[in-house]
Structures are given as structure tokens and as C-alpha cells.
Chains A and B, each alone.
Chain A
Amino acid sequence: MSQFLQPTILLLREGTDTSQGRAQIVSNINAVQAVADVVKSTLGPRGMDKMIQTGPKVTISNDGATILNLLEVVHPAARVLVDIAKSQDDEVGDGTTSTTLLAAELLKEAKPFIEEGIHPQIVIQGYRKALELALEKLEGFSINIAKDSAQDKRDTLLKCAQTALNSKLLANTKHFFSELVVSAVEKLDPNILDRDLIGIKNVTGGSVTDSFLVDGVAFKKTFSYAGFEQQPKRFENPKICLLNLELELKSEKENAEIRIEKPEEYQSIVDAEWALIYEKLEIIVKAGAQIVLSKLPIGDLATQYFADRNIFCAGRVTQDDLLRVQKATGGQVQTTVNGLNPETFGTCGLFEEVQVGAERYNLFKNCPQSRTATIVLRGGAEQFIQEAERSLNDAIMIVRRCFKANKIVAGGGAIELEISRFLRHYARSVTGKTQYIVNSYAKALEVIPRTIAENAGLNSIEIMNKLRQKHAQGGEEGRWYGVDINGASGVCDTHSSFVWEPTLVKRNALCSATEAACAILSIDETVKNPKSDQDTKMKPKGQPGRPPMGMRR
């Protein structure tokens, strides 16, 4: 009997949830499907928005990364999806939904293999091989636009921006906004293309088409003291002095203490303090500054002093605004006024304070060496503008990428189908299990056009058949057929209807989706420690897990 009386060995803390084996992989795959389902309906030009309420804050968004982030996914495997969406967002800015969908679809295709007992590593190898081929093909299919003239290049950028905006709230005004975005990106230094130098300012009220681009900097009127209104509000070619310095009457050092022996000395201390601030102000005025901006507060005394001398000032300008002003006007931020050199002053064509909606804005326009731009967004409701900002952000990222990469492919599911066709063709030439797996990869790619069609309310089966047929013809003419949401037939040559996307987006999407799928497939055990006591008390039924007897193997 003794062989049956194996002692129970407790390795882990009580309540620890462990799941392992094939069932674990399947279970993870199912969880991923559930998450992907949430974002599925946002794909494509007819994609819908999600409204997510977290506490008092409501977000309405179409952006995959934003939605996944707000969902607060806690499932460990499903979190991988959130992470790839985020990495896609950071890397290229757009295509987050398609990446998520693709990863989920790859897993879904892998599920039958796992269930049938094929080792996950074989699936992973197959997927990696397929990815390699797909990327190779992607490069081969992409169209280089670098050699075209500047005008053509601009056109291409516009097209790409429009494609990115297609699925967003701004779809109807995409021509307007793509123009805005491309002009903004063109302002940047083409070698660096620093995204931070494009400012987006939101002002509620007005129509979206009232949004405008400032070829320079715009920021909201900062907190001002009495006397501000007496300052001039318009300059042409002003000298702009940028400071990181507090201009206020205040104690010089925190822990200083003064001991005065004679009452007569009292006045001298007071005078000394005033002299300190006046000295600073005088230097600025003498140097000939006409606009003084500071990151730190500019007090009432300084405000009035400047008002008396026809100088405009603004304190508490935020860091990134100041940085943009610096870039736009060519000035340098000074941390002290000692030895203030007029050469460090920037300048711009026109400075003006104007009313935008209910706010007053400071605009610095026509900057000579402008390497920065600001988009002032208008719209009906706060959420509307926020979503518009996210959409513009996507478009800006795309244009930026396009600027650098110069290679595009046709969107609307065309490139996915073309790669899919190629992979299917290739699969026939392989022997062994890999054949099935490459085939599955090809099938998974079709999820993109299928979802676009579904979301648009089209008959997805019919559309897929038409598309497969077009692509099966091979060669140039069938290559770029994708889903057409406007026409009657449902399919069209998306390349000639200008649904263009940078190759880089697709490349990154394919890579990260495949990587994520492989990562999830290779997990065969999850060890989840119980939460700390407080949490478990609050949520005793949270995740019952299997009783500890599961450990007795």
C-alpha cells in the first residue's frame, strides 16, 4: 500500500492557481479571442466607436490601442494583445486594431492544430517561416515613391493621411485634415521629424473645419496678473526673450535669515530686495526684448513693469510650448538674465493674441526658421475633440513614417490578400506539417478584408470570393484589389482609388502579431499567485481556481 500513500507536496502558497498543458494553451487562445472581439468592429472605414466609462471620465474612441488600454485587461495572456497594440502605437502610431485582430486570428487558426496534438513549437516554426516569406513579399510588392517629384510625394503623403483618417470621426473632412497634417509634418526638420514639435491644442466650440494650422506656435493665454491687459497684444517681427526664471518679488533663498542691528538698516534690506528684481527687469528691457516668455511665474510687479514699457509677457508657459517657441523662433531659453545677449532672442513674423472660442490664444506666426507647427482643433464636445486629436495623432505618425520610409502598399485588405495568395501557393510546395500551418497563416491574413467588409455591412463571403478570384489571376492587374465600401460591387482596385498605407505599418503589424501569437502559443503553464489578503477578501469569488489537489501529481 505504501506506494499509494504518496505524501502531498505543497510547492506553492495555498490558493495559487496553476494551469498547464495543452488545455492551458487553448484556454489562453479563447481569452485572446474575447478581447479581440471587442475591437473587431472598429476596423475599417465603416468601423464603429466604443464608449468606455472609467469613473467619471468617458472616452469615445475608435483607436485600438486606446480602447484596449481603457478596458483594463487583467487576463495574463490577453494582456499580450494589449501590449502589442501599444507597441504598434508607439512604433508606427496606426494600425493597432489590425495588429490585434491578426494576432487573434492567427491563434484561432492554431487552435485546431493544438487540439489535434500537433506540438505548439511546430506551429510556431511554421508561423515564423510564413512571416519571413510574407515580409519578403511585402517588400517586393511595395511601391517606391522616393524618386517622384516633390509634388507627387506630397500627394502620396496626403493619400496616406487620408487612409489613416478614413475610419475615424473625421472621415468626412479627411481632405481638409490630411492637408493640415501634411503641412504640419512638412514644417518639421526632415532629418529628425520630432513628433513633439507638432502641438495639438484643443478648443471646444466651432465646427471641426474651423480648425487651423499655425506655422509656428500657439498656446492658451497663461494666468495673468493685473496690468496684463495694458500690454500691447500685437507685434510684427518682435524680439522674443525666452526665460526659465521667476520674475517676482520674493525671498531669494528659502532659509535665509537677516539680522538687523539698527532700525535704519531696515529700509536698506527692503530696497535691496526691490533692487534685485528691478535689476533683472531692467536688463531684459535694455536688451530690447518685446515679448518675454517664462516657464516660471511672472509676477504682478513684472507684468506692470513690462506694461509700462510696451512689452508683452507671459509666465507659466508649459515646457513643451516653450520648447516649440524656441524651435520656431530660433531663440534660446535663458536661465539667468545676467549677461543677457540680444542674440539669444528669437523672432517671428507676427505675434498676436486672438480669441479662439471662449479662450484667448497667443499666436506666433510666420516664424523664420520654423521647424514646428501647431494645430488648433475645434469641435462640438470635449470627447469629440479628444477623439479627433487621437485620429490626427495617427495621421501624423503615418505621414511621418511615410516621409522617412517612402514605400507604400495598397490598403483595404489588398496587400493581405496578395500575401495570402502567395503563401497558399507556396504551401503547396512544402512537405510535412508546415504545409498546413503556412496555409493557416494565409487564411488568418484574410481576416482583415473580411472584417472590413463585415463592418461595412457587406456580404463578407461574397466579397471574399470576388477578391480571391481577382487575386488568383495573379500579375499586376489583380494585385491591388481590396474591399470597396462605397461602390456597388464591393471590390475595387484600392491602389488606383488611393487607399494607401506605408509599408512600414504593415510590416510592423505582421511582425508583432506573429510574435504575439507565437508567444502565447509557447506558454503551457500559468502560475498565478493569489492576490494579497485585502483583495481576496473583497473578491472571494474572483477566481476560485482549482483546489490545491491539482498539485498532487
Chain B
Amino acid sequence: MSLAFDDYGRPYIILRDQGQKKRMKGLEAYKSNILAAKAVANTLSSSLGPKGMDKMLVSPDGDVSVTNDGATIVEKMEIQHPTAKLLVELSQSQDAEIGDGTTGVVVLAGKLLEQALTLLDKGIHPLKISDGFDRACDVAIKHLETISEEIDIQANEHEALIQAACTALGSKVVSKRKRELGKIAVTAVLDVADLARRDVNLDLIKIQTKTGGSVEDTRLISGILIDKDMSHPQMPKEVKEAKICLLTCPFEPPKPKTKHNINISSAEDYKKLYLQEQQYFVDMVKLVKDSGANIALCQWGFDDEANHLLLQNELPAVRWVSGTDVELIAMATGARIIPRFQEITPEKLGKAGSVKEVQFGTSNERMLVIENCQCTKAVTILIRGGSQMIVDEAKRSIHDAICVIRNLIKDNRIVYGGGSAELACAIQVLQYADEVSSVEQYAIRSFADALEGIPCCLADNCGLNPITSVAQAKARQLQESNPRIGIDCMELGTTDMKEQRIYETLSSKKQQIQLATQVVKMILKIDDVIAPDDY
């Protein structure tokens, strides 16, 4: 920071460590903020759309991840710049709220900032620009609502949902199998959805990954899959008509929580104690057996002695089942979680068609599948794939698809993708701009330009000529007054996105435009940056 001097030529030390602070003011601050944010947006812009490219990110520990998901990319880039960080958060909040469209929102914000920069050069006050953007945003949102269409999610075996999921999966590495994966995602969501309340608790969908096999082997298990095996190799590998006993206490003699020590004064006592310990094991197994359970899942471990006893008594058991799994299993099988052996009753047991140990490929790893549960309130998607990277990316993609479906269940209005909705809004905003008499007009017009940036970017990523294709699409939208004309990314021969069945949720699009505008407004409002001067 610049120093001020008093009448004796001494510098004022007004702030702590004043010499080590950097201060940027006015135009310099706007520009540096905008450029930083734009740099982030530019990185992401090549990931947009069905033919968007992936990014390879190497973490400080050397872990490599390959992804197309905007939120993941920006998160792993470990951005330092404070303004650029705002865009990271923007992407993450889109992820948190909607789950999909995380790339689009950052690209849109980047385009808006780019426009703002030119407007600033023209000498327009930044707040006028943000006012203009705000008004344009309202117009765009209203228009989105008018062009949106309600779809019947039930019709034709949830065809619409599957299409929407396919659109979300289209840009990912798994796009070849998008239909199969889309179906899996739709079934999974519908299984756990509470259609009456239009609420979906995504915690009830467990996504389990396992390297090996190919993406085609990905499947939905209407039950729970846990990465555990039977506690003893000689226990039966499959239990039909399972009655599951879910325990949250260890298979060992109970211990008081209070600090205690046992004083043994004679050998006799010691023997008694030993016998009592043995008796505990016998009693515990007996209690489980008596209730009619034929499999026990335990949140804690049990020692080999207990294990042996369980085997002798033909009671298959699983140890170290994690807390969340216990909960999911309880939900799926209708079991009650039992905190101690004395409380085991037949009513508290969960029921499942089969509990089966499955093995994958040639590896010795086994997993337990609990299927045909009494009440399928929880489901698992098992993702397979050639390598860890593919599996991870597939997991993120399916998460996106699941989010899209959830949003459609909440709000069944859609708009068409392929940049058509943005174009339609841009046209509307442009018309509105002409009605505004003040300086904001320029900002509103720029907003329209920024919206057009999305289809432009899409076309560019698909190897089309961006200007020509956007111009054509725009002209046709105007001529036919059809807001569904977009960019034919997949080169299917039609630009009508309704025919191509590219569905996007209205809530996602709305959210993208609103969030991007909000963050841009915030960046434009900063005229002073005070930061430690170290980079």
C-alpha cells in the first residue's frame, strides 16, 4: 500500500504490516478481478456440451482424476485468487442445489464478465452494468418460464425422465452407455422417492464402486451392497429368506463403561470368571438363534472364539459393518437396530429374499448383496469400469443424472437443451433492451450477447463453426418463432431439440442464470482489494 507522510517526513503506519499489503482500487481492481474470474471460466469452457473434453487433474499427493464435471474440476484446481474462488463457490453451490449444470454456470458467468469488461472500457459505471444485468436476468427467467413445458413423468415408463438423465450423461465419459445408465438412475430414484411429498432423500441411494469389468456391468441392486464378507470362510455363501439381526454391540462379554478392575484372589475365582466369559458367548449366540435369525450383521467386531462358536451354531455373521450401512440395511429390510443381546425379539429382525456373497472377476474380493428386501426404501448402484478413474467419473456422472431426475420429480417443467433455451432468452432480452431508455440498455444488450455465448461455446466444442451455426439457429428461432431450435451437436440432422430429445430441467437453467448473475454483480461491486502482497 502506498505510504502517507506527515510533516516531518515520517511515514504513517496506519494498518498492521502496511508495507506487506497490496491494495488495488477502482478500475484496476475491476479489471484484475474480472480477468482472474475469466481465466477460470476459460478453463471450463472446453468441457461444456456433449462433445466437451475432460480435464486431467493431479492432486498434490499424485492422485490422478479425469473428469468433465465442472464442480469437480474447479474444486481440484485449488484456486488461490480470491475472486476466482467466487466462481469455484458458484459452481459448488449449483452442485449443491441442482447437482447438474455446474460447467454451464461458470461459463455463463465468464461470458458475462467478458461483456462487463467491454462496458467498463466504454466508461459505464459498474453498478449501472450490474443493474442492467439484473433486469435482463429477470426478463430471461420470465421467458424461460413461458417456453418451459410440463412433462408427464409417469408416461411411457418414465421415458421423459430417462431422456433427461441421458442429456445429463451425454457429456460424460460414459455417454456410450447413457441409456442403460439413465434407466438405472431413474429406477433408483423412483424407488426411494416420496412422490406424494415430491421429496427424494439422496442418502438412500448408495453408490458403490468396484474397479474391474466394464461400464456395461453397472447394475442396480434393489437392496444393499456392502463391501464386506462373511466372518468365517466356511460359513454358507448364501442365505435365502434371510432374517437379519442387526446388532450395534460387539460379540464379546459386555464391559461397563465405568472404569473398573476385577480383583481375583483365588484360582477358583479365575476359573469362574473364565467360565462366565464362555457362558456369555454361548448365551449371545443362543439369543440370536432363538429369535429365529439366520444371519447376524454386527457393527463391531467379534473375536475368533465367538466366530468359531457362530460357525458351530450355523449362524452366518458379518462383522465391522459401517454405521451408515447399518442404517441403510435397516431401512431396506425393515429391521430394527438392536443395541444389546437381551433385546433381540423376532419382530426386530429384518427380512430379505437373499443375502449372497458375490465375487468379482478373478480377484478374491467379495461383497455382500442383500436383495429382495421387505421394503425397498434403499437401493444401491454398483458401478463397474475399467479403471479407478473411469469408475470415479462414472460415479460423478450418475450423481448428476440422479440429481436431474430428482429435480424433475420436484418440478416437472423442462426446457430444451442444446443452447436453444439460452438463444430464446437472448432474443427476448435483446428485444427488451430496446425498450429501456437509460444507460442500462447497453448492459442488457451485453447480457443477451453473453447468453448467446453458451450455444457458441457448444458449437465450438463440437467442431462446428460457432458463428454460422448460432446465426442460423437464431434466424430460424425468429422465423419460426420456435424456441426449441438449438445447436445440432451430435449431427443428427435436426436442430429441433424436441426431436433430439435434449431435455434439461427448468430449475437447473433458472438457477444457472440467476446464480451467474448474482456472482457477476458481486464481482462488479468490488472497487477495492486489500490483500497480503505475496503473489
Binding site for B on A (CB under 8 A): 23, 26-27, 30-31, 34-35, 38, 41, 46, 48-55, 58, 60, 62, 71-75, 78, 169, 172, 204-208, 225-230, 249-253, 255-264, 266-267, 269-270, 272-274, 300-301, 304-305, 307-308, 354-355, 357-358, 360, 379-384, 387, 456-457, 542-546
B326 interface residue per 8 A CB criterion: yes
Q: Is there contact, CB below 8 Å, between A34 and B258?
A: no
Contacts A226-B327, A263-B272, A380-B515 given: A74-B16 contact, CB under 8 Å?
A: yes
Q: Smallest CB–CB gap between B87 and chain A, Å?
A: 8
Q: Smallest CB–CB gap between A157 and chain B, Å?
A: 25
Q: Which of B171-179, B222-230, B308-316, B525-533 contacts A (4 or more CB under 8 A)?
A: B525-533
Secondary structure at the A interface, as helix, strand, loop or mixed, is mixed
Q: Which of B3-11, B383-391, B441-449, B457-465 contacts A (4 or more CB under 8 A)?
A: B3-11
Which residues from chain B contact A266 at a C-beta distance below 8 Å? 262, 273, 276
Residue in contact with B134 in the complex, picked from A26, A54, A172, CB distance below 8 Å: A172
Q: Which of B89-97, B181-189, B487-495 contacts A (4 or more CB under 8 A)?
A: B89-97
Q: Which of B42-50, B153-161, B334-342, B359-367 contacts A (4 or more CB under 8 A)?
A: B334-342
Which residues from chain B contact A358 at a C-beta distance below 8 Å? 95-97
Which residues from chain A contact B131 at a C-beta distance below 8 Å? 172
B244 interface residue per 8 A CB criterion: no
Q: Smallest CB–CB gap between B274 and chain A, Å?
A: 9
Which residues from chain B contact A169 at a C-beta distance below 8 Å? 521-522, 525
Q: Is there contact, CB below 8 Å, between A58 and B85?
A: yes
- Of the A-B pairs whose beta carbons lie under 8 Å apart in the complex, a sample of 20, sorted by A's number, is A27-B7, A31-B14, A48-B528, A50-B526, A51-B29, A51-B530, A52-B529, A53-B530, A73-B16, A78-B14, A204-B89, A226-B299, A226-B326, A226-B327, A257-B258, A270-B254, A300-B248, A300-B339, A355-B201, A543-B10
Complex: A307 Cα to B331 Cα, angstroms: 11
B103 interface residue per 8 A CB criterion: no
Q: Is there contact, CB below 8 Å, between B528 and A74?
A: no
Which residues from chain A contact B98 at a C-beta distance below 8 Å? 205
| CB within 8 Å of A: which B250-294 residues | 254-263, 269, 272-273, 276
Complex: A229 Cα to B202 Cα, angstroms: 12
Q: Is there contact, CB below 8 Å, between A251 and B258?
A: yes
Q: Is there contact, CB below 8 Å, between A544 and B10?
A: yes
B76 interface residue per 8 A CB criterion: no
Complex: A30 Cα to B3 Cα, angstroms: 12
Complex: A387 Cα to B89 Cα, angstroms: 15
Complex: A304 Cα to B92 Cα, angstroms: 34
Complex: A355 Cα to B201 Cα, angstroms: 8
Contacts A58-B82, A304-B337 given: A383-B14 contact, CB under 8 Å?
A: no
> Which of A274, A301, A381, A387 has the most CB atoms of chain B within a 10 A radius of its CB?
A381
Q: Smallest CB–CB gap between B63 and chain A, Å?
A: 22
Q: Is there contact, CB below 8 Å, between A270 and B255?
A: yes
Q: Is there contact, CB below 8 Å, between A34 and B12?
A: yes
Which residues from chain B contact A228 at a C-beta distance below 8 Å? 327
Give me 11 other A-B pairs in contact (C-beta within 8 A), A31-B14, A262-B272, A383-B86 excluded: A23-B7, A51-B529, A206-B97, A226-B327, A229-B203, A257-B259, A264-B272, A274-B340, A355-B201, A380-B93, A380-B519
Q: Smallest CB–CB gap between A261 and chain B, Å?
A: 7
B324 interface residue per 8 A CB criterion: yes
Which residues from chain B contact A257 at a C-beta distance below 8 Å? 258-261
Q: Is there contact, CB below 8 Å, between B6 and A27?
A: yes
Q: Is there contact, CB below 8 Å, between A207 and B337?
A: no
Which residues from chain A contact B346 at a C-beta distance below 8 Å? none
B125 interface residue per 8 A CB criterion: yes
Q: Give A254's nearest chain B residue, CB to CB.
A: B259
Q: Smallest CB–CB gap between A7 and chain B, Å?
A: 26
Q: Is there contact, CB below 8 Å, between B86 and A381?
A: yes
Contacts A30-B4, A308-B336 given: A73-B14 contact, CB under 8 Å?
A: yes
Which residues from chain B contact A78 at a C-beta distance below 8 Å? 14
Complex: A205 Cα to B92 Cα, angstroms: 8
Q: Smallest CB–CB gap between A546 and chain B, Å?
A: 8
Which residues from chain B contact A300 at a C-beta distance below 8 Å? 248, 323, 337, 339
Residue in contact with B97 in the complex, picked from A205, A387, A456, CB distance below 8 Å: A205
Q: Is there contact, CB below 8 Å, between A256 and B258?
A: yes
Q: Smallest CB–CB gap between B73 and chain A, Å?
A: 17
Q: Is there contact, CB below 8 Å, between B12 and A31?
A: yes
Residues 196-217 of B, flagged 1 when their CB comes within 8 A of A and 0 if not, give 0001010110000000000000
Q: Smallest CB–CB gap between B11 and chain A, Å?
A: 8
B436 interface residue per 8 A CB criterion: no
Q: Is there contact, CB below 8 Å, between B531 and A52?
A: yes
Complex: A474 Cα to B432 Cα, angstroms: 43
Residues 403-444 of B, flagged 1 when their CB comes within 8 A of A and 0 if not, give 000000000000000000000000000000000000000000
